[in-house]
Structure 1
Amino acid sequence: MGTRGQVYLVDDEALVRQATEQWLQLAGFSVTGFDDAKSALQAIDENFPGVLITDVKMPIMDGQELLREVLKKVPDLPVILVTGHGDVTMAIQSVREGAYDFIEKPYDPDQLVETVHRACEKRHLIMDNRRLQRQLAEGSGIETRIIGVSAGIVALRRELLRLAKIDTNVIIYGETGCGKELVAQCLHEFGPRSARRFVPLNCGAIPENLFESELFGHEAGAFTGASKRRIGKFEYAEGGTLFMDEIEGMPLNLQIKVLRTLQEGSIERLGDNRSLAVDVRVIAATKIELKGEESFRQDLYYRLNVGQLYIPPLRERQEDIPLLFEHFSRQAASSHDIDYSSCSAQEMRSLQQYSWPGNVRELRNIAMRYGLDPGCNLTELLVPTSVPLIAEVVETGLPLGIQVQNFEAQVLRRCLKKHRGNILSVMDELDLPRRTLNQKMQKYGINRADFKG
């Protein structure tokens, strides 16, 4: 039984059908043959996970009519037409009407295998997206907020719900852009304080001379420019949750005051000697390990680290990328009344192979751009189309590995364009073995067919 995909093959000539079946089976496909179009049509429904190959010239119902009837039942099913030389014009018209591709007789078996493989990849992507969208639509509560099917995200949701009910201080660990604030919001919303305020505070964005006032508030006249009383974040979050993002950026001299607030459950506004009782749950977020960090008080760390959550980076959960991408891109298209079309299997493979240094935030931005412009080139969004100057590379702030990958991908694209997709010429110019070149093209989502002619 083949593993590369399932194929329904329709041809009224038994010898041709059997020979094609054997070739596709040797290439790893699971093949079911039909000697007439109506039998194949009856066997196909929207849950059929494979592709259809049909000869055009057949009695009773020909390949064109079969194409039209199949697409009425399953509009997104890839259909490949096998045509004679005189049928090429008709086949091109059929592609415009929805056929995936056509192969002209006599055809190269390797060409057929390549076309069927690409069609199966597209069908698998469609079926996966449909399944994931159904899971998202049928999900409720936390599954619609923290989206993903990977083991890391499933474990995160389970631990999040457990900590939400305990109503204790929590530290969230995760790289930039992975969704720490969203996780903090869920801790608040699924906990006993959900009816009260969720107050976010970015500790890395507040000037040090304003930090104390921002957290604890001040009375009128407490310092120059304090013309009236101001309520601080702790007081404003009374009964609710205070989310302290980038807590590693909190000045060391203020960490002791935060510790005292957590220990005693009270604050003092600047310029006031009275203590005010506060009941606040604190959720901190950081992208570094706080335990043993010299610039962070360890007594404050232990006070906050009653509960702990870790958000895995996107590169460690590739199986979540299709669902997240579809979710964000469809959302963008829907909000602007734009007709949406899923990306190709090749493009989705490029998305899954990309390292995502900006994590979900970067994915969301690219998905939204695709949703607003479904015809855009996703691969070009991931890898710059032109090689920047060395000075510009340094200014991007990207890790060296990413910059090297971007440069390598651009060299491959430029060479393929120069030689119009001729693999042998590219191998010769770049001094690369065929296997290495294929691996690099697959890694960067580069398709030789895009450079032919």
Structure 2
Amino acid sequence: MNASFPIDPASSDAVDRVLFVDDDPAMRESNQQTLELAGFRVETAASAAEALERVPADFAGIVVTDVRMPVVDGLALFRRLRERDPDLPVILITGHGDVEMAVAAMHEGAYDFLAKPYPAERLATGARNALDKRRLVLDNRRLKRLARDAGESLPLIGETPAMQRLRKTLSHLASADVDVLVLGETGAGKEVVAQALHAWGARHAQPFVGLNCGALPDTVIESELFGHEAGAFTGAQRRRVGRIEHSSGGTLFLDEIESMPLAAQIKLLRVLETREVSPLGTNEVRPVDLRVVAATKTDLSDPAQRGQFRADLFHRLNVVTVRIPPLRERRDDIPLLFSYFVSRAAARFKIDPPAITPAVRQHLRSHAWPGNVRELMHYAERVVLGVEETAPEAPETEATLPQRLERYEADLIREALARHQGDIKATLQTLGIPRKTFYDKLQRHGIDRSEYLTPPTR
């Protein structure tokens, strides 16, 4: 399994169990040895009743059973297991006279059958293929459960240390009632962060008012922000309450703040300093109970990137800065996010959610996701609708061998950091490289070790 796409130990990595059922002790011992030599964890049962006791819900393995057994035969066992879990692979072992019956059982859902005598490699190959199928089924079930448990009430889905730390930071800031600057790439979830700050704080019952500063022309944005009186300018036939005044008591979310025109920046700075607003066309000053969450994809602390954005406005907004990690820095969250979006899209389109196929998994592992969570959400919708091409994309197939090795090396480093929660000593032991080499590779791959540190508990 790709290091950048791990599944927890309770699922895919542990799906290697084979339960071999046969009433003949010699057959059990011989086949157990064959399977163990092939690398499987093997349990045996002498009867169907014993086998049923050993197969719990979500059994992390498969069942191989002889058909000819006393009391309850292998075919009856298969049907009992199918009632318990229709997706559990069962391989039947038959004599020559039972082949027709075994083929009929496969039409009922049996995974495969082996006719005696069968070579050891045939048994190992059948078990390996069945376990691959079982692993996929259990992974899909786990991801759907996690996505369902996350629910609409929990934004910022993810279990990586970076996302745990982000949610903890937001829960503290929500009740602090301070202005917040949110830094994140396009599609990373800046508005979701703003909504979380609003919903988790004391202002949750008041309006959440959003404005995209980059979506409005300069001639309109001041009226949208500050409001205007009737007759304030040509076409202003009615009084309009601006977004700032409308958000009083709640939260004002200003997206793409770096795109705000200079004249509006000057007026906004005044509002932030005085907590008062003067609509266009009047000298009246109105107090506002304001909390501002501004979002930007530009590092406004860097003068070279800030451009025409006023430094004093940046410092006034920058009471607290929250950085949202891009999806490429928290790849372990991609399966959960994808499953959540698939479940939501399936409910919206009123169709059954599809299985996560190996081709889709490959795309989730290898794609760079420059559009972040928004891109992943749209991809999930296309998969649900069945209109997404799942073959490996051109950039991946055209990558050179050094590029692929670099990508794989970065994945291994991220996986080791995640496994050891950012602990340097343990990570170095796992990777087997010197400390200086490790830090050189972090810099080359753009990996931030702090993203993998587990937040302290209080």
> What is the deviation of 1:140?
8.2
Partner residue of 2:236 out of 207, 222, 226: 226
- Provide the residue aligned with 1:392 in structure 2: none
Moved more, 82-91 or 252-261: 82-91
> What amino acid is the match of 2:379?
I
- Provide the residue aligned with 1:412 in structure 2: none
> What is the deviation of 1:244?
1.0
- Provide the residue aligned with 1:20 in structure 2: 31
> What amino acid is the match of 1:63?
G
> What is the deviation of 1:169?
0.9
Q: CA offsets per residue over residues 405-435 of structure 1, 9 Å max, x none?
A: 2x549xxxxxxxxxxxxxxxxxxxx9x9xx9
The answer to whether the aligner puts 1:352 opposite 2:365 as a matched pair is yes
Q: Secondary structure, in 3 states, of the residue corresponding to 1:270? A: coil
- Provide the residue aligned with 2:20 in structure 1: 9
Q: Secondary structure, in 3 states, of the residue corresponding to 2:63? A: strand
The answer to whether the aligner puts 1:323 opposite 2:374 as a matched pair is no
The answer to whether the aligner puts 1:213 opposite 2:204 as a matched pair is no
Tell me if the contact between 1:4 and 1:117 (Cα under 8 Å) persists in the aligned partners: no
Partner residue of 2:83 out of 68, 72, 88: 72
Distance (whole Å) between structure 1 residues aligned to residue 130 and residue 346 of structure 2: 25
Tell me if the contact between 2:298 and 2:306 (Cα under 8 Å) persists in the aligned partners: no
Cα distance change, pair 112–218 in 1 and its aligned pair in 2 (3 A): farther
> What amino acid is the match of 1:123?
R
Distance (whole Å) between structure 1 residues aligned to residue 45 and residue 30 of structure 2: 13
> What is the deviation of 1:202?
1.1
Cα distance change, pair 156–30 in 1 and its aligned pair in 2 (3 A): same
> What is the deviation of 1:139?
6.1
Structure 2 regions of 5+ residues with no counterpart? 1-12, 409-458
Distance (whole Å) between structure 1 residues aligned to residue 371 and residue 99 of structure 2: 46
> What amino acid is the match of 2:198?
H
Q: Secondary structure, in 3 states, of the residue corresponding to 2:369? A: coil
The answer to whether the aligner puts 1:294 opposite 2:306 as a matched pair is yes
Q: Secondary structure, in 3 states, of the residue corresponding to 1:269? A: coil
The answer to whether the aligner puts 1:241 opposite 2:251 as a matched pair is yes
Q: CA offsets per residue over residues 157-197 of structure 1, 9 Å max, x none?
A: 11111110101111222222222211211110111111110
Q: CA offsets per residue over residues 351-385 of structure 1, 9 Å max, x none?
A: 234332322222222323444x4xx486x24746x
Q: Secondary structure, in 3 states, of the residue corresponding to 1:285? A: strand
Q: Secondary structure, in 3 states, of the residue corresponding to 1:365? A: helix
Cα distance change, pair 294–324 in 1 and its aligned pair in 2 (3 A): closer
> What is the deviation of 1:230?
1.9
Corresponding pairs, count: 389
Partner residue of 1:164 out of 174, 185, 191: 174
Where do residues 384-403 of structure 1 align in structure 2 (5 Å cutoff)? none
Moved more, 116-125 or 297-306: 116-125
Identity within the alignment, %: 47
Distance (whole Å) between structure 1 residues aligned to residue 395 and residue 347 of structure 2: 36
Q: CA offsets per residue over residues 214-259 of structure 1, 9 Å max, x none?
A: 2112222333322222222111111111111122222234322221
- Provide the residue aligned with 1:37 in structure 2: 48
- Provide the residue aligned with 2:416 in structure 1: none
Q: Secondary structure, in 3 states, of the residue corresponding to 1:227? A: coil
Q: Which has the higher contact order (CA 8 A, sep 6+)?
A: 2
Distance (whole Å) between structure 1 residues aligned to residue 231 and residue 185 of structure 2: 40
> What amino acid is the match of 1:208?
D
- Provide the residue aligned with 2:380 in structure 1: 367
Partner residue of 1:404 out of 368, 376, 395: 395
- Provide the residue aligned with 2:186 in structure 1: 176
- Provide the residue aligned with 1:333 in structure 2: 346
> What amino acid is the match of 1:279?
D
> What is the deviation of 1:336?
4.5
Q: Considering only aligned residues, what root-mean-square deviation do their CA atoms show, in Å?
A: 3.2
Cα distance change, pair 216–381 in 1 and its aligned pair in 2 (3 A): farther
Distance (whole Å) between structure 1 residues aligned to residue 150 and residue 262 of structure 2: 43
Cα distance change, pair 160–125 in 1 and its aligned pair in 2 (3 A): farther
Distance (whole Å) between structure 1 residues aligned to residue 331 and residue 262 of structure 2: 38
Q: Secondary structure, in 3 states, of the residue corresponding to 1:205? A: coil
The answer to whether the aligner puts 1:312 opposite 2:325 as a matched pair is yes
> What is the deviation of 1:279?
1.9
TM-score by length of 1: 0.75
- Provide the residue aligned with 1:187 in structure 2: 197
Tell me if the contact between 1:366 and 1:381 (Cα under 8 Å) persists in the aligned partners: no
Distance (whole Å) between structure 2 residues aligned to residue 117 and residue 315 of structure 1: 32
Cα distance change, pair 294–357 in 1 and its aligned pair in 2 (3 A): closer
Tell me if the contact between 2:179 and 2:291 (Cα under 8 Å) persists in the aligned partners: yes
Distance (whole Å) between structure 2 residues aligned to residue 171 and residue 103 of structure 1: 64
Q: Secondary structure, in 3 states, of the residue corresponding to 1:342? A: coil
Q: Secondary structure, in 3 states, of the residue corresponding to 2:356? A: coil
Distance (whole Å) between structure 1 residues aligned to residue 100 and residue 50 of structure 2: 27
Partner residue of 1:262 out of 268, 272, 278: 272
- Provide the residue aligned with 2:283 in structure 1: 273
Partner residue of 1:251 out of 239, 249, 261: 261
TM-score by length of 2: 0.74
Q: Secondary structure, in 3 states, of the residue corresponding to 1:75? A: coil
- Provide the residue aligned with 1:445 in structure 2: none
> What amino acid is the match of 2:163?
I
> What amino acid is the match of 2:291?
R
- Provide the residue aligned with 1:421 in structure 2: none
Q: Secondary structure, in 3 states, of the residue corresponding to 1:280? A: coil
> What amino acid is the match of 1:316?
E
Where do residues 63-142 of structure 1 align in structure 2 (5 Å cutoff)? 63-83=74-94, 89-103=100-114, 109-110=120-121, 112-131=123-142, 133-134=144-145
